[in-house]
Structure 1
């Protein structure tokens, strides 16, 4: 799995950070998503898929390998 984020689409809801803080964070400057781990380990993948699905701005993309 490879994760990417589009900061231009981010609406700073923080849903992704709440779902998988090991993979996502929010910038202290503007509140926008920060991607901490583009290649999450297997135990985090279900959470990443959920975060992508609940993201109101559709800012998270998941490419399955």
Structure 2
């Protein structure tokens, strides 16, 4: 199952147009477009996780330091 990159609803493949179509918001993407957006979103998620870890590490360092 392919999920929409905008609303995360299920997408179906339309063989007539050779595109994926979102059943909820109507977004249409070719396979290549879908893969590019999916990869971009994954890299954004990883950077958010890195930011969260960095903030956590900075706070821990502050907490353990002499105040």
Q: TM-score over 0.5 for the alignment? A: no
Give TM-score scaled by structure 1 length: 0.27
Larger Rg: 2
Give TM-score scaled by structure 2 length: 0.26
Which structure has more helix as a fraction of its residues?
Answer: 2
